[in-house]
Amino acid sequence: MESRRHFLVVALQMLSVTSKKSPAIPELRFARTCYDHLAGVLAIALRNELLRRGVLRHQENSFTVTPKGKHFLHTLDIDANSLCGLRRSFAHKCLDWTERHHHVGGAVGAALLSRFIEMKWLARMRDTRAVRLTHAGERGFEHIFSIRCTELRARIR
């Protein structure tokens, strides 16, 4: 029993040291996929901006898209009404494991990530959940969402 406990302690210490030195940690913290939607610092900034603009509203365990939000999503070529008919949650609150705040999951979160990839704002990276912000994405997030990605990155390094 004692040797098993010692093994677990050593394993946890190794994980702790490895995660602190891992070069992927800032990238994972900045922007990554969580199942099929966006997570990380960028996702929280996006959620904050969508709430601030009245595109989304808080509900108990989810977000709701307002009528103003449906129009806004339509400007991004996302049809919120068709997302309502899907057999999945619409816009659930998904706890972000690095930021400890909820980002937007469900059909709305998946549609946003998919659209950002289609617009080439974000690019999937091989063998990781991290997604890379492109130059077009940096300009797009700033222009459309007033999110300054350079400032977000500076906070996590």
Per residue in 84-117, pLDDT tens? 888 889 999 999 988 999 999 999 999 999 999 9
Q: What is the pLDDT of residues 24-78, one digit of tens each?
A: 588 889 999 999 999 999 999 999 999 999 999 999 999 999 999 999 999 999 9
Angle at 66 between CA 63 and CA 70, to 5 degrees: 110
pLDDT for the residue 20? 44
Q: What is the dihedral of CA 55, 151, 129, 136, to 10 degrees?
A: 70
pLDDT of the residue at 150: 92
Q: Which of 60, 106, 104, 71 is nearest to 86 (CA)?
A: 106
Report the distance separating Cα 90 and Cα 15, nearest Å: 35
For the entire predicted model, the pTM comes to: 0.83
- Domain boundaries in the chain? 25-156
Cα–Cα distances in Å, from 7 out to 11, 21, 57? Answer: 6, 21, 47
The predicted pLDDT at position 119 comes to 98
Structure-token match 């994972």, residue found: 28
| pLDDT recorded at residue 25 | 85
- Give pLDDT, residue 18: 41
Residues whose CB is less than 8 angstroms from the CB of residue 71 and which lie 6 or more positions away in sequence, other chains included: none
**Cβ atoms of 44 and 99 closer than 8 Å:** yes
Mean pLDDT for the chain overall:
87
Helix (H, G, I), strand (E, B) or coil at 79: coil
Packing angle, helices 41-52 and 135-145, rounded to 10? 20
Give the pLDDT band (50/70/90) at residue 7.
low
